[in-house]
Amino acid sequence: MDIIIRDNYEEMSTYAAEIIAGYIKYKPDCVLGLATGGTPIGTYKELIRMHHEGLDFSQVITFNLDEYLGVGMELERPYHSDQSYARFMHEELFKHINIKKENIHLPDGQTEDPKKFCIWYEAEIKRVGGIDLQILGLGGDGHWGFNEPGSSLGSRTRVQALTEQTLDDNYEAFYKNANIERSKMPHFAITMGIGTILEAKNILMVVNGSKKANILAKCLEGPITSQVTSSAIQLHSGEITVVIDEAAASKLTHSGRYKHIEKLKHQFGL
Ligand code: PGA
């Protein structure tokens, strides 16, 4: 696991975007797992900038991690559509790059049969050969996607009830500004499972800010537990890169060692 500590959010975002761009250049039809939330916005901005300089998304395939149940892209069924993760992805990334619509996969929060949809979503990921690089944030309660504390570490794509902490976090981030009452937020979501995420060939996690420092330390250095579902990162067998800023790194016991290893690898061209 490579843990890369950068001075601030901007440097973290640039580093993460360079990793993603590297995958796209190496394998133009690569399959990316994408995350929503405040954290990856800077990374997506940098990818958009790179696209304007020639980075080509025309063969890239994407799968998003999650979506609130009851919301989606279709404006004729607008249950809080403005807050949908589909819209977030459209606004923050998709509409700015040359990705093909048919290559974008988003959990359908408005599906009439969530169980059937989740099975289909898993099958689609398999059909395209699996996810090459899964991009992840870190929830305040340690979740990936909406895999809340207590989710099985082998879980698959499914409907999940959201915790009070997630509702609070996301209310602040997405709903307050839109003047939507907290009680009107969706309380369920479709999310890829931890087992699904662990099958991605490689993982890129981005985390910033002092608010995430404690939970990041639990995720990376604590015991593997379903109470911090992202601690499953310690079980992943592919290449893992965790890119964080100094504020998020502030509670890590071994941050000095991570910096030392990064320097050494750089020195030896690894
Ligand atoms: P955030 O969300 O990037 O808005 O902090 C992360 C998450 O909940 O996964």
Q: What is the mean pLDDT of residues 5-32?
A: 98
At residue 102, does pLDDT exceed 90? yes
Question: Quick one: how far is CA 267 from the chain centroid?
Answer: 30
Domain that holds residue 174: 2-267
Of 13, 36, 191, 216, best ligand 1 pocket probe by most atoms within 8 Å of the beta carbon: 36
- The answer to whether residues 259 and 227 touch, using CB atoms and an 8 Å cutoff, is no
Q: How far is the centre of ligand 1, averaged over its atoms, from the C-alpha of 111 (Å)?
A: 24
Q: How far is the centre of ligand 1, averaged over its atoms, from the C-alpha of 133 (Å)?
A: 18
Task: Give percent of the chain above pLDDT 70.
Answer: 96
d(CA 251, CA 266): 24
Q: How far is the centre of ligand 1, averaged over its atoms, from the C-alpha of 140 (Å)?
A: 7
At residue 25, does pLDDT exceed 50? yes
Q: What is the mean pLDDT of residues 253-259?
A: 96
Q: What is the mean pLDDT of residues 239-252?
A: 98
Q: 80: closest CA among 8, 180, 148? A: 180
Atom index in ligand 1 nearest the CA of residue 40 equals 3
Q: Is 82 a catalytic residue?
A: no
Q: What is the pLDDT of residue 185?
A: 83
Ligand 1 close to Cβ of residue 39 (< 6 A): yes
Number of domains in the chain: 1
Q: What is the mean pLDDT of residues 108-128?
A: 96
Higher pLDDT, 246 or 171: 246
Q: What is the pLDDT of residue 73?
A: 55
At residue 79, does pLDDT exceed 50? no
At residue 74, does pLDDT exceed 60? no
Q: What is the pLDDT of residue 188?
A: 93
Q: What are phi and psi of 161, to 5 degrees?
A: -80, 140
Q: What is the pLDDT of residue 71?
A: 75
Q: Residue 240: how many CB atoms within 10 A of its CB? A: 18
Q: How confident is the model at residue 76 (pLDDT cuts 50, 70, 90)?
A: very low
Closest-CA residue, ligand 1 atom 7, reads 139
Name the pTM for this structure.
0.94
Average pLDDT in the chain:
93
At residue 41, does pLDDT exceed 50? yes
Q: Is 148 a catalytic residue?
A: yes
Condensed to tens digits (0 to 9), the pLDDT of residues 186-211 reads: 889 999 999 999 999 999 999 999 99
Q: Is 105 a catalytic residue?
A: no
Ligand 1 close to Cβ of residue 137 (< 6 A): yes
The catalytically annotated residue of 46, 51, 66, 108 is 66
List helix spans (H) across the chain: 9-26, 41-52, 85-92, 114-127, 164-170, 194-198, 213-221, 246-249, 255-267
Ligand 1 close to Cβ of residue 264 (< 6 A): no
Q: What is the pLDDT of residue 177?
A: 75
The catalytically annotated residue of 141, 169, 199, 245 is 141
At residue 249, does pLDDT exceed 90? yes
At residue 70, does pLDDT exceed 50? yes
CATH of the domain at 100: 3.40.50.1360
Q: How confident is the model at residue 80 (pLDDT cuts 50, 70, 90)?
A: very low
Q: What is the pLDDT of residue 72?
A: 63
At residue 81, does pLDDT exceed 60? no
CB-facing half-sphere around the CA of 268: CA atoms within 13 A:
6
Q: What is the mean pLDDT of residues 233-254?
A: 97
Ligand 1 close to Cβ of residue 145 (< 6 A): no
Of 9, 12, 13, 39, best ligand 1 pocket probe by most atoms within 8 Å of the beta carbon: 39
